[in-house]
Amino acid sequence: SKLNCHLMANIEQGLLHRAFSVFLFNQENQLLIQQRAPTKITFPDYWANTCCSHPLSWPEELETENALGVKRAAVRKLGQELGIEPEQLPLDAFRFMTRVHYKAGSDGTWGEHEIDHILILRAEVTINPNPNE
Protein backbone atom coordinates (compact mmCIF):
# COMPACT_ATOMS: atom_id res chain seq x y z
CA SER A 1 0.00 0.00 0.00
CA LYS A 2 1.01 3.64 -0.30
CA LEU A 3 1.37 3.89 3.48
CA ASN A 4 3.50 0.72 3.71
CA CYS A 5 5.81 2.01 0.97
CA HIS A 6 6.51 5.20 2.90
CA LEU A 7 7.11 3.78 6.38
CA MET A 8 10.79 4.13 7.29
CA ALA A 9 10.68 0.72 9.03
CA ASN A 10 9.87 -0.88 5.67
CA ILE A 11 12.25 1.37 3.74
CA GLU A 12 15.12 0.33 6.01
CA GLN A 13 14.33 -3.29 5.10
CA GLY A 14 14.74 -2.43 1.40
CA LEU A 15 11.15 -1.80 0.26
CA LEU A 16 11.38 0.17 -2.98
CA HIS A 17 8.67 1.61 -5.24
CA ARG A 18 8.30 3.44 -8.56
CA ALA A 19 7.83 7.20 -8.79
CA PHE A 20 8.06 10.09 -11.20
CA SER A 21 9.04 13.74 -10.94
CA VAL A 22 7.84 16.34 -13.43
CA PHE A 23 9.69 19.58 -14.06
CA LEU A 24 7.38 21.88 -16.04
CA PHE A 25 8.95 24.92 -17.71
CA ASN A 26 7.13 27.68 -19.59
CA GLN A 27 8.46 29.33 -22.75
CA GLU A 28 10.50 31.80 -20.65
CA ASN A 29 12.32 28.85 -19.00
CA GLN A 30 10.56 29.47 -15.68
CA LEU A 31 10.08 26.33 -13.59
CA LEU A 32 6.71 25.83 -11.96
CA ILE A 33 7.26 24.69 -8.35
CA GLN A 34 4.74 23.82 -5.66
CA GLN A 35 4.58 23.83 -1.89
CA ARG A 36 3.42 20.50 -0.51
CA ALA A 37 0.30 20.55 1.65
CA PRO A 38 0.78 20.46 5.42
CA THR A 39 -1.29 17.26 5.55
CA LYS A 40 1.15 15.21 3.43
CA ILE A 41 2.79 12.33 5.33
CA THR A 42 6.14 12.86 3.62
CA PHE A 43 7.79 16.27 3.53
CA PRO A 44 4.75 18.40 4.49
CA ASP A 45 5.08 22.12 3.64
CA TYR A 46 8.28 21.52 1.62
CA TRP A 47 8.79 23.28 -1.69
CA ALA A 48 9.19 20.77 -4.52
CA ASN A 49 9.31 20.35 -8.27
CA THR A 50 6.12 20.76 -10.33
CA CYS A 51 4.67 17.36 -9.51
CA CYS A 52 5.94 14.15 -7.99
CA SER A 53 3.92 11.02 -7.38
CA HIS A 54 3.64 7.33 -8.19
CA PRO A 55 2.31 5.37 -11.15
CA LEU A 56 -0.60 3.14 -10.25
CA SER A 57 -0.57 -0.60 -10.81
CA TRP A 58 -2.78 -0.27 -13.88
CA PRO A 59 -1.73 -1.56 -17.30
CA GLU A 60 -1.82 1.99 -18.74
CA GLU A 61 0.65 3.24 -16.13
CA LEU A 62 2.89 0.16 -16.15
CA GLU A 63 3.88 0.43 -19.82
CA THR A 64 7.65 0.89 -20.04
CA GLU A 65 8.16 1.59 -23.77
CA ASN A 66 9.10 5.27 -24.20
CA ALA A 67 8.22 5.73 -20.50
CA LEU A 68 4.57 5.88 -21.57
CA GLY A 69 3.26 4.53 -18.25
CA VAL A 70 4.91 7.21 -16.12
CA LYS A 71 3.94 9.88 -18.66
CA ARG A 72 0.29 8.82 -18.35
CA ALA A 73 0.62 8.84 -14.56
CA ALA A 74 2.09 12.35 -14.78
CA VAL A 75 -0.88 13.60 -16.81
CA ARG A 76 -3.24 12.08 -14.23
CA LYS A 77 -1.45 13.68 -11.26
CA LEU A 78 -0.90 17.08 -12.92
CA GLY A 79 -4.67 17.16 -13.34
CA GLN A 80 -5.35 16.13 -9.74
CA GLU A 81 -2.74 18.36 -8.11
CA LEU A 82 -2.63 21.42 -10.33
CA GLY A 83 -5.88 21.23 -12.29
CA ILE A 84 -4.07 21.10 -15.64
CA GLU A 85 -6.34 19.73 -18.35
CA PRO A 86 -5.02 16.63 -20.17
CA GLU A 87 -5.39 18.42 -23.52
CA GLN A 88 -2.59 20.76 -22.40
CA LEU A 89 -0.30 17.79 -21.67
CA PRO A 90 0.31 15.72 -24.81
CA LEU A 91 2.33 12.61 -23.99
CA ASP A 92 4.86 13.32 -26.75
CA ALA A 93 5.68 16.68 -25.11
CA PHE A 94 7.13 14.94 -22.05
CA ARG A 95 10.85 14.15 -22.25
CA PHE A 96 12.02 11.20 -20.20
CA MET A 97 15.51 12.10 -18.98
CA THR A 98 16.61 9.26 -16.69
CA ARG A 99 15.75 7.25 -13.61
CA VAL A 100 17.35 7.87 -10.22
CA HIS A 101 17.46 5.77 -7.07
CA TYR A 102 16.22 8.08 -4.34
CA LYS A 103 16.12 7.44 -0.59
CA ALA A 104 15.28 10.08 2.02
CA GLY A 105 13.75 10.13 5.45
CA SER A 106 11.10 12.74 6.16
CA ASP A 107 10.46 12.74 9.90
CA GLY A 108 11.76 9.44 11.27
CA THR A 109 8.47 7.62 10.70
CA TRP A 110 7.90 8.39 7.02
CA GLY A 111 10.18 8.64 4.00
CA GLU A 112 10.82 7.80 0.36
CA HIS A 113 12.73 4.97 -1.28
CA GLU A 114 12.02 4.88 -4.97
CA ILE A 115 13.15 4.57 -8.53
CA ASP A 116 12.20 8.03 -9.72
CA HIS A 117 11.57 8.66 -13.43
CA ILE A 118 12.55 12.25 -14.28
CA LEU A 119 10.27 13.94 -16.82
CA ILE A 120 10.81 17.38 -18.36
CA LEU A 121 7.94 19.25 -19.98
CA ARG A 122 7.91 22.64 -21.69
CA ALA A 123 4.37 23.99 -22.06
CA GLU A 124 2.09 26.93 -21.48
CA VAL A 125 -0.65 25.64 -19.18
CA THR A 126 -3.52 26.94 -17.11
CA ILE A 127 -3.39 25.85 -13.48
CA ASN A 128 -6.07 25.53 -10.81
CA PRO A 129 -4.13 24.13 -7.81
CA ASN A 130 -5.74 21.69 -5.41
CA PRO A 131 -5.01 23.06 -1.90
CA ASN A 132 -5.01 19.51 -0.46
CA GLU A 133 -1.97 18.63 -2.55
Supply the residues annotated as catalytic: 52, 114
**What is d(CA 7, CA 41) in angstroms, rounded to the nearest whole number?**
10
Q: Which residues lie across from 21 on neighbouring strands?
A: 52, 118
Instruction: From residue 28, give the alpha-carbon distance in Å to each of 25, 33, 73.
Output: 8, 15, 26
Mode of pairing for the β-strands spanning 51-53 and 17-25 = antiparallel
